[in-house]
């Protein structure tokens, strides 16, 4: 597709594309940015457009995908760029400094893990030690799905043991 053909196909759709951008972003400035980004990406990839197919569908798909990608980036960026001070509550009073209570609890947890049958204990301990699922599967000569299942059930059994011993603790994985 030449530049003239691209412009001839794009111009009649400009108002429709802006309305679609407004529907996606609900903001005039963001809609204009989305329009510009879509136009740049479509122009850059105009050689990928197959003659005889629907240009309107092709360019609106590019716009929708741009919007989705930008939304995901923004969503991730907001989580990552939060100041570290906002997470101070997570580490307050969480350190185990070797006091008697934490030492006893760790011994009890170790005994609980050791009480698991070997088929559940070994994959759980290897996973806890940092092995990946595929490495555990290779080491134990079992399918990766079996490894995942055994680790899941080991966690479930340990959670039940901890709740039986200490009551419901509202344990959540990080």
Domain ranges of the chain: 3-80, 96-166
Asked if 40 contacts 46 with a C-beta cutoff of 8 angstroms, the reply is: no
Task: Specify the CATH number of the domain 3-80.
Answer: 1.10.1740.10
Query: Residue 63 — pLDDT band, cuts 50, 70, 90?
Result: very high
Tell me, rounded to whole angstroms, the distance of Cα 126 from its chain centroid. Answer: 24
Predicted pLDDT at 166: 75
Residues 96-118: what's their mean pLDDT? 79
For 96-166, CATH gives 1.10.10.10
Are 55 and 16 in contact, with CB atoms under 8 Å apart? Answer: no
Q: Looking at residue 174, what is its pLDDT?
A: 46
pLDDT of residue 16: 92
Q: Do domains 3-80 and 96-166 have the same CATH topology?
A: no
Is the model's pTM score more than 0.85?
Answer: no
Of 138, 136, 135, the C-alpha closest to 154 is: 136
Q: What is the mean pLDDT of the chain?
A: 82
pLDDT of residue 91: 54
Which value, in Å, is the radius of gyration of the alpha carbons in the chain?
A: 28
Here the tokens at position 34 are 């989305």
Q: How confident is the model at residue 163 (pLDDT cuts 50, 70, 90)?
A: confident
Residue 90 has pLDDT above 60, yes or no: no
Joined tokens for residue 166? 């200490």
Task: Using the predicted structure, report yes or no on whether residue 97 has a pLDDT greater than 70.
Answer: no
Please state, in angstroms and as integers, the Cα–Cα distance from residue 56 to each residue in 12, 17, 49, 128, 166, following that order.
10, 9, 11, 52, 62
39 contacts 3 by C-beta, under 8 angstroms: no
Q: Are 116 and 158 in contact (CB under 8 A)?
A: yes
């Amino acid at each position: 597709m030449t530049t003239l053909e691209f412009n001839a196909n794009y111009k009649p759709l400009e108002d429709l594309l802006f309305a679609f951008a407004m529907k996606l972003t609900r903001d005039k400035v963001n809609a204009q940015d989305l329009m510009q980004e879509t136009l740049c990406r479509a122009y850059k990839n105009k050689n990928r457009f197959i003659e005889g197919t629907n240009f309107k569908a092709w360019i609106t798909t590019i716009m929708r995908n741009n919007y989705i990608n930008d939304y995901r980036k923004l969503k991730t960026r907001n989580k990552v760029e939060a100041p570290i001070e906002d997470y101070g509550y997570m580490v307050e009073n969480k350190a185990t400094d070797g006091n008697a209570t934490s030492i006893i609890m760790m011994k009890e947890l170790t005994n609980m893990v050791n009480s698991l049958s070997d088929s559940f204990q070994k994959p759980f301990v290897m996973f806890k030690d940092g092995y990946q699922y595929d490495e555990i599967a290779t080491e134990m000569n079992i399918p990766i799905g079996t490894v995942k299942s055994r680790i899941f059930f080991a966690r479930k059994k340990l959670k039940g043991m901890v709740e039986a011993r200490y009551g419901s603790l509202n344990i959540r994985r990080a």
